């Protein structure tokens, strides 16, 4: 029995490695805003397929620290409650899937998590940041 040699180009190998079977879905996250002003979280995509997801997070602020926390919601449309005494969400009462914390201005970090289908919210849970607008819905599809 004679074996046939198969040669793959570098491009073909790169395409195979980039396929969903080999790589996590990537989501770019930009944390925006300074203390005392409007803040936000900008995503390059708000919906991804279930599985391994890597969040590439950058704090685009010039002076203000931020973080990104992935919260699994009990149901679509659920509103996170901000504790008025602490001016932040009580993460102990929620299903936190992970976070990139303590990002100083201009710094970045990554978080890779395996997410099931459902509704999520990405938040910056530093004092006052959710109330300033740092909350964005995120959907993981089947």
**Do the beta carbons of residue 69 and residue 125 sit within 8 Å?**
yes
pLDDT tens, position by position, 36-57 = 999 999 999 999 999 999 999 9
**Do the beta carbons of residue 33 and residue 61 sit within 8 Å?**
yes
Q: How far apart are CA 4 and CA 12, in angstroms?
A: 18
Q: Which domains does the chain have, with CATH numbers?
A: 24-141 (2.60.40.420)
pLDDT tens, position by position, 14-42 = 555 555 555 789 999 999 999 999 999 99
Q: How far apart are CA 119 and CA 83, in angstroms?
A: 22
**Do the beta carbons of residue 119 and residue 76 sit within 8 Å?**
yes
Cβ–Cβ contacts within 10 Å for residue 37, how many? Answer: 11
Question: What global pTM score does this model have?
Answer: 0.84
- Helix (H) or strand (E) holding 11, with range, is helix 10-18
Q: What is the DSSP letter of 91?
A: G
């Amino acid at each position: 029995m004679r074996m046939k040699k198969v040669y793959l180009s570098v491009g073909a190998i790169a395409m195979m490695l980039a396929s969903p079977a080999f790589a996590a879905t990537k989501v770019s996250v930009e944390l925006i805003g300074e203390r005392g002003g409007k803040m936000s979280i900008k995503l390059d995509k708000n919906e991804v397929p279930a599985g391994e997801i890597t969040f590439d997070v950058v704090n685009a602020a010039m002076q203000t620290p931020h973080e990104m926390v992935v919260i699994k919601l009990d149901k679509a449309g659920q509103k996170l409650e901000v504790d008025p005494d602490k001016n932040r969400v009580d993460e102990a009462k929620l299903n936190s899937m992970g976070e990139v914390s303590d990002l100083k201005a201009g710094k970045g970090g990554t978080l890779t998590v395996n997410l099931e289908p459902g509704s999520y919210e990405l938040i910056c849970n530093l004092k006052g940041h959710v109330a300033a607008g740092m909350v964005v819905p995120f959907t993981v599809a089947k």
